[in-house]
Structure 1
Amino acid sequence: MMHCCACIMVAQTSLPVYLDETESIEERIGDILSRMTLEEKVDMIHAQSKFSTKGCPRLGIPELWMSDGPHGVRMEIAWDSWKHAGWTNDSCTAFPALTCLAATFNPELAWKYGKAVGEEARFRKKDVLLGPGVNIYRVPLNGRNFEYMGEDPYLASRMVVPYIQGVQSNGVAACLKHFALNNQESNRKQVNVEVSDRALREIYLPAFKAGVEEGKVWMVMGAYNKFRGKFCSHHEFLLQKILKGEWQFDGVVVTDWGSAHDTREAALYGLDMEMGTGTDGLTKNTPLAYQDYYLAKPYLKMLRSGELPLSSLDDKVKRVLRLCLRTNMDRRRPYGSLATQEHADIARQIAEEGIVLLKNDNHFFPIKRGKYKKIAVIGQNAVRSLTVGGGSSELKAKKEIFPLEGLMSIYGKKNIYFSMGYTSGPSKFHPQLPAVDKADSLRYAAIALAKDADIVLFFGGLNKNYKQDCEGVDRTSYGLPYGQDQLIREILKVNKNVAVVLISGNAVSMPWIDDIPAVVQSWYLGSESGNAMGKVIAGDVNPSGKLPFSIPVRLEDNGACSFGASSYPGDGTNVYYKEDILVGYRWHDTQKIPALFPFGHGLSYTEFAYGELKTDKKIYDKDENIVLSLKLTNRGKCGGAESVQIYAGQSHPSVLRPIKELKAFKKVFLLPGESKNVTFSIPAKELAFYDEISKMWIVESDCFTFFCGASSTDIHDTVSVNIR
């Protein structure tokens, strides 16, 4: 305790710590730490309100303020409750959900996205933006899949790095979440995940690793769930061995709100900051209970008694101070901007590039202006706000252009006729919506409109209601909710000229697919939703999105769901990842179960011709880069973009491996008739698998085939090389 007394003596004579700018961050951290009392140190590592920590006012160290929202800066929340604070100046740009960003297959857009949302966070005086999320899309029912970047770890890795860099260029920390294995919302706060080391390393950790090692993220959020019997937010193996050990993460590990469960484990096993414990029942009925958190008075008591070492606290405080010096104590950081036209344009571009054209028989799309006099727009999602709800990603958008508005602006109000068709019922966010008992009258009205229309555009899918795309709970059915499948069938009886636009963050079943000529997979597109969708439908923008996840025909065709309840959603205590490394398209390929629409799929209004896939040589050493190239040509009559995808498969592996795995992609923009040479450089080390015996990554000497295509199944050419 002598050390603590010495700290107090120094601190009493200390001045505010805006130190010499020539000093390094680590020198400043050491100086500040030496001035702090034990109580001040403990105060820095737990919440003082729902979204802030105390800082150290005596030494001039500011509060840290955080905000939810990988898709935009959430509206202000009250100091000590989850109620909206009722501010009038907390509206924002609603950016598309991260599933849409992943569907762009465009890392340059990821940087623009991160920079823009970081500017809004900075303007709102936030020091941490609680995102992005990179939990792998394991099952189509996960209520939070819309916040993540799909089923493939390579795609998620390439998209998350520039997003993080863009956010942090504003002096605002990105917070990579939820570490790790938070792949379902059902029973998320207790479920124990059992998964192999190999699947952990090959599927569920790569995007986190890239975010830490390449993106240099400043904060990582622990997950609610357990892994092998221990809660992830204070997990020695995940946090100490992997995150802070192998990956050398030098930032702050923060709990998800209420994911801490034990003071000793939190102190010793890698947690740095505790937030929101009231949500798990410990302090739920006690106002302003922040001093009762696991890393507050209970921790202080154990430090004073010698039960826990002071070094455990000092490491946490150093990390928090490092975060402060990168954010709210960095005098050079820009001021940011909020809800600007530039941000709206970026949001629209992401939306336009993320929309996926799934099916387009007989060139149904684009619909040129003046082609039809009576266009029937049917479906609640054409007029429903989809920026609100869904959990912590809710937003108060400064504006939100609905699909119906976007279509009217393009085709004229006199040519657009709207009928709601179905209802999800009123909610706290949409009290004006019709009740469910109005469903029959809505359906009859929609069918009557469809019967006399030249063309029908059905806007359906999911929304952010409870048990839809929503935090805290998963979907319970793979089909479309609110009677939409039945309504589509009945519309087809009176009009065959029908297209379906699905707005969701998840795959859905499509039992009507053979009878529908055109299907669009849209997403939660944010503020510019209607403008982006209208431009794609009219052909002002050529769709170029690619699916970031597979869409199975049936739910049981999904790998995790094929093994029954023990594999998903679990037996109430445990969930066993029985599909192991065969997630998404890896499962469909290996098990020879065709997807309805495969990973990477997305059509265009133009036609791309793939040239021969070539490599500069046939034999490579394991420390070399494999160079691949091809010529891509736009053979159509309009400009467009194609995301060329490169997959790799091993010929004679000593362990089970997928048929092929994504190893590179490049989005190429071409004018009509234009050709470009597309080159890829793939490190041979990226062909490794994780060996569970040696605990090492291994590249075997073998023949590897590279597949070049427009999706995981639309393969245009292959080439093989030998690795020695």
Structure 2
Amino acid sequence: MLHKLFTAFIMLSVLNISAQKTLPIYLDDTKPTEQRIEDALSKMTLEEKIAMVHAQSKFSSPGVPRLGIPENWMTDGPHGIRPEVKWDEWQQAEWTNDSCIAFPALTALSATWNKNMSLLYGKSLGEEARYRNKNVILGPGINIYRSPLNGRNFEYMGEDPFLAGEMVVPYIEGVQSNGVAACVKHFALNNQETNRHGVNVIVDDRALYEIYLPAFKAAVQKANVWAVMGSYNKYKGLQGCHNSFLLQDILRKEWSFDGAVVADWGGVHNTKESIYNGLDMEFGTWTDGLTWGASNAYDNYYMAKPYLDLIKSGEVGTKELDEKIRNILRLIFRTNMDRNRPWGSFGTAEHAVAARNIAEEGIVLLKNKEALLPLDIKKYKKIAVIGENAIKMMTVGGGSSSLKARYEISPLQGLQERIGAEAEIIYARGYVGDASGNYNGVVSGQNLTENRSAEELKNEALKIAKDADVVLFIGGLNKSDFQDSEGNDRKELELPYGQNELISELAKVNKNLVYVNISGNAVAMPWEKEVPAIVQGWFLGSESGSALAAVLLGDVNPSGKLTFTFPVALKDNAAHAYKAFPGGDEVTYKESIFVGYRWHEKEKIKPLFPFGYGLSYTSFQYSDLKADKTKITPNDKITFSLTIKNTGKRDGAEIVQLYISDVKSSLPRPIKELKGFDKVFLKVGEEKTVTFTIDKEALSFFNDKEHQWIAEPGDFQALIGASSADIKAKINFSLK
């Protein structure tokens, strides 16, 4: 605290002196940013520069107090602002005012397919970070969903690079509108947690550029993201945090990124590679993120004293160091030294409403046989709620995105508050998954210790289910190790804790069974034909129970759609079909560009639930698909239009999806690829015209031989669908 006060005092002193005389150029925000950067750089000592390129605490790096340049303060995201830890320790600082609003996980956000929701999410999260005086949020995560076993998929935005790119841009814009930098992660190819610090990813250039890079490129070139975090894994034998191919050749040279490259905590392994290969800021070295750490550790960082010694010995120069400082100063001028940035707000009712709205729009109705949902509580007076996930807090755990939430409404609580005395709710746990509620010092306060046997729990659940009018089984995964959690991948596609057997038994005693899957990943559902209604409920944050109750009871019409494919079995996923996950010291992406729905369609494998899929309580009619031209040149754009009408009995929203198919190509291409989408809200009987405009970029593939994007002349098809597997209309056109 004294250190912060001293820094603030120095900065104010400089500003006061400057007001009386001539304001130094680097403090004069009327001057061009690049001129200010050069002026500040010219006034810094070698030691001050070295200090700025590495951490001084678990989550901060130094400024230059002598010059009034403030520190950088990072915070974990991307779903909420992490609670404070002690300066040199991971132990909780035990503040009483750092409990945040927990927002839905990014899988839920992407399932909204709503860019306005993404903007709201980013703006709200940025306000919370700004209020807590953080100038960099370590997120969002946009690594591609390659395997349903990746423990960190819940933090990402699905399997499709176009969708991830479209959704990440407004999120970043929302965060940065608060003068807080988004730090998009993990660049790149961080698609598994197994051996994440050491695995070397082997991937062909087509897959790299067509699947794994586009969302990052959109973050840089469309959203102008101010920071990028390197990944733990290796690519071409080099660590992601000091990888010249990724950070220099692609990020800086090809994409013209001008922000700061931040190392993931513990992601730096070599001083000279860090100097020359594009890293700007080193964090977390000498710690495993939980137990190791010493007050003098920061001097031993690869870019601290070892770097200084190399310069003083003449072995390396200062050109690279100056470039790092320019990037860091640019970050600071955009954030902490922007006097016009807003103040922010924290844990507010407004943010809670935003979290709930996002959660409601992200919930996906996967099955609804005989319209069991929405629940009619005039008809179903006795409701059995079964499953540990109906009561277990999900904001605690899962890795670095674990939060100290101001509150969390459980699914059971949400149902009880919504239904009140209109119907009777009886709860049974059914199984024991994880009784713990402590992660990294944040304690949920729940006591889920269970002394009854598995048989007793099952029998209790079956008894209340048999006597009930309807059963809501709320299960799935949790944020424990080897489930949806950083650091470990899942071991299987099956549901854990004997849930499959319990669900099948419940279906035998009560045909009115609704399964709500709480997870950030696809799961196997061998009982799918036995269960009439299935809902994908995600990790929904503080307002989880309220949002679920609103959809289950019909207060909100479900409008989310899947952003990744649910395979029937693990072998149906491309990475596992090739036995290419997780690998050992190396992993080869043998499936190349055929990830997710691209693979299922190529191999004609029917998924359990396809990409882009989601049902509604109302119905929609697609009609009158047109194109404004049938032949285009590479300099042209083509616009498709269609009419969408709500033909049901409820107001609701439909996600209209545009896919493009290259009829004949010189290189293998997917059968179709997503190139546009629009979420359309319609009242009963209302119809609207939806338009999509594309250019040659939507027709292009990456030619690895020529290392460039190519749009080949020939025939194409535009396909309009309600999902990747439900195409409503097609239209042909050609590129000259």
TM-score bucket of the superposed structures, by smaller chain:
over 0.9
Q: Deviations over 1:284-325 (max 9, x none)?
A: 464331010000000001111221121100000111111111
Q: Which among 630, 638, 643 is matched to residue 655 of structure 2?
A: 643
Cα drift, residue 428 of structure 1: 4.5
Q: For residues 281-680 of structure 1, what are the structure 2 equivalents within 5 Å?
A: 284=292, 286-412=294-420, 415-429=424-438, 432-435=447-450, 438-564=453-579, 567-570=580-583, 572-680=584-692
Separation in 2 of the partners of 1:623 and 1:574?
A: 42
Tell me what 1:142 maps to. 150
Cα drift, residue 678 of structure 1: 0.5
Cα drift, residue 20 of structure 1: 2.4
| In the alignment, structure 1 residue 183 sits paired with structure 2 residue 186 | no
Tell me what 1:3 maps to. none
Tell me what 2:10 maps to. none
**Kept after mapping to 2: 8 A contact 1:499/1:516:** yes
Separation in 2 of the partners of 1:612 and 1:463?
A: 45
Cα drift, residue 432 of structure 1: 1.5
**Kept after mapping to 1: 8 A contact 2:90/2:289:** no
**Kept after mapping to 1: 8 A contact 2:120/2:171:** yes
Separation in 1 of the partners of 2:698 and 2:437?
A: 48
Tell me what 1:269 maps to. 277
Q: Secondary structure at the match of 1:481?
A: coil
Q: Secondary structure at the match of 1:416?
A: strand
Separation in 2 of the partners of 1:623 and 1:233?
A: 38
Structure 2 gap segments, 5+ residues each: 1-13, 19-23, 439-443
Tell me what 1:715 maps to. 727
**Kept after mapping to 2: 8 A contact 1:369/1:410:** no
Alignment CA distance shift 1:331-1:202 (3 Å) = same
Cα drift, residue 50 of structure 1: 0.4
Cα drift, residue 495 of structure 1: 1.1
Q: Which among 220, 225, 228 is matched to residue 228 of structure 2?
A: 220
One-letter code aligned to 1:472: G
Cα drift, residue 550 of structure 1: 0.2
| In the alignment, structure 1 residue 70 sits paired with structure 2 residue 78 | yes
Tell me what 1:37 maps to. 45
One-letter code aligned to 2:435: P
Cα drift, residue 555 of structure 1: 0.5
**Kept after mapping to 2: 8 A contact 1:377/1:457:** yes
| In the alignment, structure 1 residue 25 sits paired with structure 2 residue 36 | no
**Kept after mapping to 2: 8 A contact 1:381/1:503:** yes
**Kept after mapping to 1: 8 A contact 2:660/2:698:** no
Cα drift, residue 491 of structure 1: 1.0
| In the alignment, structure 1 residue 58 sits paired with structure 2 residue 71 | no
Cα drift, residue 577 of structure 1: 0.2
Q: Secondary structure at the match of 1:588?
A: helix
Cα drift, residue 19 of structure 1: 2.3
Cα drift, residue 624 of structure 1: 1.4
One-letter code aligned to 1:658: P
Separation in 1 of the partners of 2:468 and 2:674?
A: 44
Q: Secondary structure at the match of 1:612?
A: strand
Q: Secondary structure at the match of 2:286?
A: helix
Structure 1 gap segments, 5+ residues each: 1-13
Separation in 1 of the partners of 2:119 and 2:316?
A: 42
Q: Deviations over 1:193-234 (max 9, x none)?
A: 000001000000000000000110000000000001111111
Separation in 1 of the partners of 2:662 and 2:437?
A: 53
Q: Which among 195, 198, 207 is matched to residue 203 of structure 2?
A: 195
Separation in 1 of the partners of 2:293 and 2:452?
A: 37
Alignment CA distance shift 1:110-1:613 (3 Å) = same
Q: Secondary structure at the match of 2:185?
A: strand
Cα drift, residue 372 of structure 1: 1.2
Cα drift, residue 78 of structure 1: 1.6
**Kept after mapping to 1: 8 A contact 2:202/2:586:** yes
Q: Secondary structure at the match of 1:710?
A: strand
- TM-score with structure 2 length normalisation? 0.95
Alignment CA distance shift 1:219-1:45 (3 Å) = same
**Kept after mapping to 2: 8 A contact 1:244/1:250:** yes
Cα drift, residue 281 of structure 1: 9.9
Equivalent pairs, count = 708
Cα drift, residue 21 of structure 1: 2.8
Separation in 2 of the partners of 1:360 and 1:127?
A: 45
Q: Secondary structure at the match of 1:207?
A: helix
One-letter code aligned to 2:426: Y
Separation in 1 of the partners of 2:250 and 2:406?
A: 41
Q: Deviations over 1:361-404 (max 9, x none)?
A: 10010112322110000011111101110000011111111111
Q: Deviations over 1:504-551 (max 9, x none)?
A: 000000000001000001111011111111010111100000000000
Q: Relative to structure 2, which stretch is displaced further, 469-478 or 619-628?
A: 619-628
Q: Secondary structure at the match of 2:606?
A: coil
Cα drift, residue 436 of structure 1: 8.1
Cα drift, residue 434 of structure 1: 2.9
Tell me what 1:10 maps to. none
Tell me what 1:699 maps to. 711
**Kept after mapping to 2: 8 A contact 1:568/1:575:** yes
One-letter code aligned to 1:131: G
Cα drift, residue 437 of structure 1: 6.6
RMSD, aligned α-carbons? 1.5
Tell me what 2:125 maps to. 117
Separation in 2 of the partners of 1:242 and 1:89?
A: 42
Separation in 1 of the partners of 2:359 and 2:289?
A: 39
**Kept after mapping to 1: 8 A contact 2:90/2:290:** no
Identity of aligned residues (%): 58
One-letter code aligned to 1:586: R
**Kept after mapping to 1: 8 A contact 2:88/2:294:** no
**Kept after mapping to 1: 8 A contact 2:138/2:182:** yes
Separation in 2 of the partners of 1:595 and 1:281?
A: 38
Cα drift, residue 25 of structure 1: 1.0
One-letter code aligned to 1:620: I
Alignment CA distance shift 1:119-1:285 (3 Å) = closer
Q: Secondary structure at the match of 1:278?
A: coil
Separation in 2 of the partners of 1:519 and 1:223?
A: 35
Tell me what 2:252 maps to. 244
**Kept after mapping to 2: 8 A contact 1:348/1:529:** yes
**Kept after mapping to 1: 8 A contact 2:89/2:293:** no
Cα drift, residue 69 of structure 1: 1.1
Separation in 2 of the partners of 1:473 and 1:435?
A: 26
Tell me what 1:6 maps to. none
Q: Secondary structure at the match of 1:499?
A: strand
Separation in 2 of the partners of 1:294 and 1:228?
A: 21
Separation in 2 of the partners of 1:281 and 1:643?
A: 40
Q: Secondary structure at the match of 1:575?
A: strand
Cα drift, residue 461 of structure 1: 0.6
